[in-house]
Copies of this chain bind each other. A is one copy, B any other.
Amino acid sequence: MTRLYFNEVVTRDGFQNEAHFVPTADKVALIDGLSQCGFAKIEVTSFTSAKAIPMLKDAEAVMGQIQRAPGVEYTVLVPNVRGAERARECRADEWNLVMSTSETHNLANLRMGREQSFAGLRDVVAQARGHAAVNVSLSTCFGCPMEGEVPAAEVLRWADRFATLGVRGLTICDTTGMAHPRQAAAMAQALRSRFADLQITFHFHNTRGMGLANVLASVDEGIVRFDGSLGGLGGCPYAPGASGNICSEDAIHMLQAMGLDTGIDLPRLLTLARQLPDLVGHEVPSQVAKAGRTQDLHPTPAYVEELRSERS
């Protein structure tokens, strides 16, 4: 049976988009809970400036207080060499670097061009040697909300440049939920044939409702690693009110229902998902947390038993 690997990004990519600060102790408790669920990786936090992302200003405290579980990698977002120093001090297992394959999105999001981003991240990759594995998350690989189409060749070009630097993994991000299943399948084929030795992770958003269909199409083409966010947290400024990241528990529930091995303890994960609305102060897009798993049956109403006995 195909083994799938899930990375949980709620405390970084999810919380980053939340309006109200989640206290450090709550973040630590959530991560410690996630550590018991069977994730391959947990993206704990980001070593960006506290001013830019106040939600993650407690990055060091969180990294210092979590209980690391054997077999789980704790990854952090590292934007630059200063962030790399902080990640090294915190002994993060993996550094996750981010840039966009769209020039306009990179300018909008990181306030620099792609070449400048690449030069900075190259230095970070060099710093990582001997300290941490490196993953690069490439944003807008399935389309840019401002430029529109991002050619697959452009994605492969940036993937090539990072592969040449010796990174361990690449995450192919559908940052604003523009991917459709045929495109996901084609991207999976192109990347698997070209980067057989790299960890390839797909990162989908459910902005337009296509998230799990894209996961399905990617699994069918041999992709085995996915990012997901508990509760589907992680909205997008370009789509107010729409869903964010694919919801980890919904994706895992579907794949388990299909008979695939996700490595995840779903009941335990659902317990955490059901605590999330209280933690963030609002409803979350998660469906399985509300509806229960397919196998969680409902009691037969009393009148049905009465009808049955009347007939017998």
Contacts and interface: CB of A to CB of B under 8 A. Distances in A.
B213 A215 contact: yes
Of A148, A294, A303, which is in contact with the most chain B CB atoms at under 10 Å from its CB?
A: A294
A193 interface: no
Nearest to A181: B216
A266 to B, nearest CB: 12
B300 A146 contact: yes
Q: Is the interface of A mostly helix, strand, loop or mixed?
A: loop
Given A254-B209, A304-B107, A146 B297 contact: yes
Interface in A274-310: 283, 287-288, 290-295, 297-301, 303-304, 307-308
A27 B143 CA distance: 38
A25 interface: no
B145 A242 contact: no
Interface residues of A, number: 60
Contacts of A290: 239-242
A311 interface: yes
A172 to B, nearest CB: 17
A180 B254 contact: yes
A237 to B, nearest CB: 9
A298 B251 CA distance: 28
Contacts of A238: 291, 298
Contacts of A311: 113
Nearest to A107: B304
B291 A254 contact: no
Given A113-B311, A208-B291, A287-B208, A104 B300 contact: yes
A208 B294 contact: yes
29 contacts: A107-B304, A108-B303, A143-B294, A146-B297, A146-B304, A148-B297, A180-B257, A180-B258, A181-B216, A181-B254, A182-B258, A182-B259, A183-B257, A208-B253, A208-B287, A208-B288, A208-B294, A209-B212, A209-B247, A209-B254, A210-B212, A212-B212, A213-B213, A216-B216, A216-B217, A238-B291, A239-B292, A240-B290, A241-B291
Interface of A: 104, 107-108, 111-113, 143, 145-148, 177-178, 180-183, 206-210, 212-213, 215-217, 238-243, 247, 250-251, 253-254, 257-259, 283, 287-288, 290-295, 297-301, 303-304, 307-308, 311
Given A111-B303, A146-B298, A148-B295, 8 more contacts: A113-B311, A146-B300, A208-B288, A208-B291, A212-B213, A213-B215, A241-B283, A242-B290
